Amino acid sequence: MTEPNHINAGRRGLLIAGALSATAVAVPGVAGAAEAANTATAASQAGQAPPVLMKVSLDINGQRHGLELDTRTSLLDALREQLHLTGTKKGCDHGQCGACTVMLDGQRINSCLTLAVMHDGAKVTTIEGLGTPEKLHPMQAAFIAHDGFQCGYCTPGQICSAVAALGEIRQGIPSHVSADLNARPQVTPEELRERMSGNICRCGAYSNIIEAITEVAGRPA
């Protein structure tokens, strides 16, 4: 038969864990600290080394941020959980949907597939850095004008990817559908569909997205 003291100890532990979980949900800062403490405790009890922390400096939307992160933290989680830039979405977390697309030193990247500590000193542009409600980026305005979104979950990644895709075309970078690799790519529906193929819209607003990008590129939609 289980000793009463053991039962009470187990009950106390359960109540403490529940209280910590409730507090973590209510207070984001406490949530991060509680999670780190729980991870370190679990690792210690399992005989594993605690998380390795590293300082990293990132230029996010023109503002320098100094962070101390678990070396396993993805750029996506650093943006969302540490800097509270939740415009960048976590979709599949496997690099397959493009919802987490941001621009890193001018190049688009799936932020869920790269570690934040790999990019010390880098410049990152998220959807929050492209424009504001008072002063929209042309691509944001075009998505609104052409109904380039429905639920809106994939839209931040779509817009960041679209801005970067037009930048690739301006730089003369060919895609898999470019007929002549030595000629400057043209803004055609085929080119845009290929370049945007890594960004999934489960609502199916693809034709409107192409129209929005085409308008920003300076061609009639």
Q: What is the pLDDT of residue 50?
A: 87
Q: What is the per-residue pLDDT across 171-197, written as a single tens digit (0 to 9) for each?
A: 999 999 998 988 999 999 999 999 999
Q: What is the pLDDT of residue 2?
A: 47
Q: Report the alpha-carbon distance of residue 126 to residue 44 in Å, rounded.
A: 36
Write out the two tokens for 159: 């817009």
Q: What is the pLDDT of residue 48?
A: 78
CB 24 within 8 A of CB 30: yes
Residues of the chain with pLDDT under 70: 1-46, 219-221
Q: What are phi and psi of 153, to 5 degrees?
A: -65, -40
Q: From 70, 67, 138, 58, select the one nearest 105 (Cα to Cα).
A: 58
